[in-house]
Each structure stands twice: as C-alpha cells, then as structure tokens.
Structure 1
C-alpha cells in the first residue's frame, strides 16, 4: 500500500507505544486501535494487522461511531488532516470492510493456532483438558447452547481451582457457521487454547474486533487477569 504522510510504521514502536485516534484525539496502544492505509489507487482501506509499510492513520471508535463520522463528513476531514491533503477515496462500505478485515485477522489467527496443535475443538476434548488444568483460554460461538457452555465453564474453573469465581469463557461475536468455515471443521461451537503464548497472540486481534463491534475489551472477570486469561462473558485512535 502507498501510505503518504504521518508517522512511520514500525520505526517508532519503542519510542511511541501509543497512537492517537484521528477522530476523537484519544490515545491508546497500537494493539487497541485500528490502522488505516491507502491503496495504490488512493482508496482508504483497513490494515487489520497494522503491518502495511509506510505511514498510516489510526482510529479507536466503534463501527457505529465510524458510520456516523463517515455520514457527517468528519472522517473525510480527519483523514485529510492526517494525510496532509493527499488525494483519497473513502469507500462507502469502509465500516463493513473494517469489520470483515478484523474478523479475518482473528479467524486466521485461530487457524494458525489450530495448525500448530494449540487450539482444541470439540466439547469432550475441551472438557478433559480443562479439568486437567491445561486450558489457558476458552471461547464459545455466539449461538452456542447455554447448557454446553456452562458445563465447559465449570470444567475450566475446576481445573484452575477457581470454583465459585464466576470465571467463564468468552462468547465470541461469531456464530458456529462462521467459525466452522474459517477453521475448515464441522460444527465448531466451543474452542480452547492450551498455550499461554497462543492466547496472548490471539488476544490482540480479538480485542480489536470486540472494541470495533462495541463490546469493549475481552478482559477476565477475575481481578488481575491478563488478556490471555480473558474470561468475561461478552453479549456479544496515530502510527
């Protein structure tokens, strides 16, 4: 992507860990905000992994807030300032493209963890590993049955010796059909990770997606939980 003017990607990650939302002026870490870049044709597009070379602009708002900013012309003005008047085209479906890109980044990460053998699917397999204290992250599809989710949540609490804590898996903003297609498996309803590093890798794209959809960060119910220990039920800003 051709990305004119603004701060360089990667060159200042240690010096400036925070980024500024071009719409609100608020600051957040690059793992929390969404990066926008410009295609060779001048289209403003999402850079879901924040890896495109050159310079970019960041936003830290929900899809609903972005749609409002787009309709009122605020996004156009903010991008014009961020890119110093460079010729830009903002696709009318940019909010939808961002959601699709964030979803793809998350499901791609899930796929990589599955290939590495760190992602478990299937209630029986997850329950067995959970009771043995091997599960580091637990999640349920948006349309998962409450009974099945509760049983796995309980098995996880038992394995973690946290009975009575209320700790439970994350309800993802994706249904079983979406997860099944993404992972190439039939009827993917529940998932678990057995590796803490894998959970930390997954936390970044998941947090971006949840924030954009207006659900906030995936944080654990237990005080002190790290993003890798995310366990809260989910009803499912510049570089």
Structure 2
C-alpha cells in the first residue's frame, strides 16, 4: 500500500522481466531494446518501436551486466551489434528526455526556477516536485524542503536544468501538479538509476555468477 491507502501493484501497470537481474518490474522502471536493421541493438526509450522487446532494469549496473555478459545476444537468440558506448548513450538520452519534458512544463506554466520563486511555490503548497542541481551548493539546497507527499529530483546538473529553462544554469526549480509532471518524475527515476547507485549491482552480479557456474 502507498500513502493514501492506494495499492501500488494496481497502479504500476504492465511488467517485464529484466534479462540482467531476473527481476520483474513495471515497464516504467525499465528500458526497452529491439533488434534493428543489420542486427543492431536499438534502445527504445519511448517504447514505441516495432519488434519484440528486450527489457533491462533502468540502472547502470543492470545494463553494464547485460552488455558485459552478452545477455542481449542470448535474449535475441542471435549475434547483435552492440555499441561500445551504449551505457553512456542511454544516460545522455534519458537526461535529454527529462530536460525536454521540464522545458515543455515550463512553457505550459507548470514549472518555475530560481530560489525565491521556488520557495514561494513551496510555501503555497502548489509545488509537487522540487528539483535541485546535483552540483549546486549543499547549504543553499538545504534551505528548501521536498513538498509533502511530493517528489524530489536532485540528479540533474545545473547546466541541464538551465537548458530546460532557457538559461545558462539553474539550481532550484519546481513543478506543479498535472500536465507532464508525472512523466517528468517517471523519466527522472529511470535516469536516477544511471547516476545514483542502486541495489541492482549486487543482484546483477549474483545472476551473472550463477550463469558462469552453470557453464
């Protein structure tokens, strides 16, 4: 059960199994890949490309394991061309998706930036998401608190937040409820798995170890 008495399982939507960790997760917490022309492995972050999906948990550890242990080849049952910088490419694409969604939220009037504006939205309890640059001053960031029952996103850089607001850099920002806010939160969670360590590293390593012992 989540806060408010809602059943989390019912809200998570369709689930898929990660080829690296063996875990079953909601699609919103994973990254889909498909086999493209000439057997090239193609990321499908939007989940709209045709073809059978190959799913990996949205964490750096899981994706690195899938690449290192040739799990994509086994899942596709054929030899694939996998980019050597796949992990970095995925991280960059996820960051760009978050930035673009925040930018669209700003244009629709649901996003503000700057310490005083964000402080004002928080005090009025109209903000649902607090965003702060990971490379911003810890002292300055500590003066603002995550909205009650809201979300915190703190793994974008000041430059990335700046891009979303058409400025050079941004340290503090906030999103109101509605619009694209939920999508921002979901995409930011996928990006978090590439920028902040998760327990998937241990899980993926365990799966890989079992496979090696079975050979």
TM normalised by structure 1 equals 0.69
Distance in 2 of aligned mates of 1:117 and 1:66: 36
Q: Which has the higher strand share?
A: 2
Q: Which has the higher helix share?
A: 2
RMSD value over aligned CA atoms? 2.6
Alignment of 1:71-220 (within 5 A): 71=68, 74=69, 76=70, 78-85=71-78, 87-153=79-145, 170=152, 172-216=154-198
Unaligned stretches of 5+ residues in structure 1? 1-15, 161-166, 218-239
Unaligned stretches of 5+ residues in structure 2? 1-12, 200-215
Contact 1:137–1:193, Cα closer than 8 Å, also in 2: yes
Assess, with a 3 A threshold, how the Cα gap between structure 1 residues 189 and 169 changes in structure 2: closer, same or farther.
farther
TM normalised by structure 2 equals 0.76
Match of 1:50 in 2: 47
Q: Secondary structure at the match of 2:28?
A: coil
Distance in 1 of aligned mates of 2:197 and 2:153: 11
Distance in 1 of aligned mates of 2:35 and 2:51: 10
Distance in 1 of aligned mates of 2:153 and 2:97: 18
Distance in 1 of aligned mates of 2:21 and 2:156: 28
Aligned length: 187
Contact 1:180–1:188, Cα closer than 8 Å, also in 2: yes
